[in-house]
Structures are given as structure tokens and as C-alpha cells.
Amino acid sequence: MTRRDARAFWLFVGPFLLGLAVFAYLPIGWSAYLSFFDARNTVTPTEFVGLGNYGHMLTDEPFLSSLGTFSVFAVFIVPLTFVLSLALALGVNQLRFARAFFRSVFFLPFACSYVVASLIWKTSLFSGVRYGLANTVLSVFGVDPVAWTGTVHPPLYWVVLVTARLWLQLGFYMILFIAALQRIPVQLYEAAWLDGAKPGWPVFRHITLPQLRATAVAVLLLNLINAYQAFDEFYNIMGDARGYPPFARPPLVYLYYTSLGSGGQDLGRGSAGAVILALLIALVTVLQGRVLRFGRAA
């Protein structure tokens, strides 16, 4: 290493690091700082309140229920995405013709925004009125129109939220699985065939699945992180001009309303909530890393 190398290093990496410092480290530090202060309607702290904001958030019913909402969402979306995207990948991979066409069809929704999907889901597919598509289909079977997003018992709004996300993201995970499937050496299958293994479940169980391990872990992890970040479709499907219903608020939606939304504008409490979430995520990541032994490659 020479001085020239050091200079070149900072020339190449410096601009990025500067940006990272201003738009990642500084905000995180500021947030941690703000979380100990009263900061209502202002970005500058006014009064030191110690752990007050934390105490408030940890006993705040809506905040805790937002964690519950996220958990329910994750329980639906993570396994469904995993199984369905793997099934799509296996299906598309087996096609003899039009493979690229089908791959494109399933991948295309990835180009759409959650806002657009929310619009279609909320006002056309699952609109609660008679002419909504889902209700039209149901009426063929003599079922009365269902108020999809407004029905809490049973919580039918999950059908809307979960299917919207599935449509948008299945194609992306399918591509990851297809890439992994194509990397499995053909010899493995040939050897299995010579050993008398029947194509079908046993081969899938003992050859395909173990070879997909790394991808499977990545898919689960990404999926969980993305579910935790859910905002766009919740905000647009559940909210309207009258506000947001008290249920189906994931943490991000709740924090948005607490810190920036029309109601609270309480940046101190919002920051405390953000710090609590960061700690939770860190804990889950560490535990998950332990369980799945992820991160060896990094």
C-alpha cells in the first residue's frame, strides 16, 4: 500500500461515504438524540425527558398493536411467498416452450408500484360494492357482496393486503429461485436417476431442495425485512380522506402518523419508536442468523 493508493481510495469511496455520513449516520444519531427529548411539531428538541418517550411507546396500545399487525402480516406473507414463488419457478423452469413469455408475465408486476396495485385492489378487485370483481364472482355462487377492507370479524382485509403484495413480489423471488435452479449441476439428477430415484417428490426433497438452501435463506430474510417495512399498500388501501382505521396499522404506518402525520407530529416519540424497532430488528436478525447460519458468505 502506498500513499497514492490511500489517496485513490478516498477519491473513489469518499463521495459515497460523505453521503452515507450525512444521510444515514447523522440521521440515526440525531434520532437517538431526539428520542430523549420532547420534540412536538419541531425538529429541534425542546425539553429533556429522559426515557419518557420510551416509556410512553412501550405502553402505547396502538404502537404495541402495530407490532402485532406486523407479526400477523409476516405469518401470512412469508410462507405464502416462499411456497408460491418456488412453485412458480419450478413450473416455469419445466416448460419446454414459451418459457421466457411466462417468466415475463410473472415478473411484470414487479415493475408496478404499490400505489398502482393498491388502486386496483381497493377500488376494482376487492371494492366492497356489488360491481367489484371479487363480489361479482362471488355473486355467481349466490354470495352477498362482501366489504373486503372494512370487515374486521373475520379480518377479511388481510385477503386484500396479502394478495396485493403477492402479485407484486412473487415474480421477483421466482427469478431468484430460477437462477438457483439453473445452477444445480445436471449430473446430480443423472446420478440420482442411475441410483433408481424416481423423479418427483423424492428427487425434489433430497436433491433440489438442499441445493436451494442459500437462495431459500435469502428469500426468507428479504421477505421478512420487506414485510416489516410495509407501508405503501397499507396506507393506500386502508387509508382514505376520512383517515386511517384503528386496525391494520403496521409499525411504519403507525410511526408515520405519530411523527409526521396530521395528528401527532411528535418527532421525539416517533424517534423513540424507531429506536425500539431498530433494536427489535437487530435482535431478530441476530437470532435468525444463529438459527439459519446466514452471513457465512458475507
Partner 1 sequence: MAAVLFLLPFYLLLRNGLASRADLTSPQWTFFPSTVHWENLSRLFSLSDVPFARSLLNSLLVATLQTAGLLVICSLAGYGLARIPYRHSRVVFYAVLATLMIPTSVTFVPSFVVVSSLGWLSDFRGLVIPGLFSAFSVFLFRQYFLDFPRELEEAGRVDGLSRWGVFWRIVVPNAKGFFAAIAVITVIGSWNAFLWPLIIAQSPDSWTVQVALSGLLTAQNPQLNLLFLAAAVSILPIVLLFAFLQRYLVRGVAESGLGGS
Q: Residues near 33 by Cβ (< 8 Å), separated by ≥ 6?
A: 45
Could you give the CA distance from residue 53 to residue 30 in angstroms, rounded to a whole number? Answer: 15
The footprint of partner 1 on residues 138-177 (CB under 8 A) is 167, 171-172, 175-176
Binding mask 10-39 for partner 1 (x = CB under 8 A): -xxx-xxx-xx-xxxxxxx-xx--x-----
Binding mask 234-273 for partner 1 (x = CB under 8 A): -xx--xxxx--------xx--xx--xx------x--xx--
Helix boundaries (H) for the chain: 3-20, 26-34, 52-58, 61-94, 99-107, 114-120, 133-140, 157-183, 186-194, 201-203, 209-211, 213-228, 232-238, 251-259, 267-292
115 near partner 1 (CB under 8 A): yes
Q: Does residue 103 interact with partner 1 by CB under 8 A?
A: yes
Q: Are 157 and 238 in contact (CB under 8 A)?
A: yes
Interface residue with partner 1 among 86, 89, 178, 220 (CB under 8 A) is 178
Query: Could you tell me which residues come within 8 angstroms of residue 3 by beta carbon, excluding any fewer than 6 positions away?
Result: none
Q: How far is the CB of 12 from partner 1 (least distance, A)?
A: 3
- Looking at beta carbons only, is 191 or 282 nearer to partner 1? 282
Cell numbers describing residue 18: 460523505
Under rule CB under 8 A, residue 124 binds partner 1: yes
Q: Which stretch binds partner 1 (CB under 8 A): 49-57, 151-159, 192-200, 218-226?
A: 218-226
Q: Does 122 bind partner 1 (CB under 8 A)?
A: yes
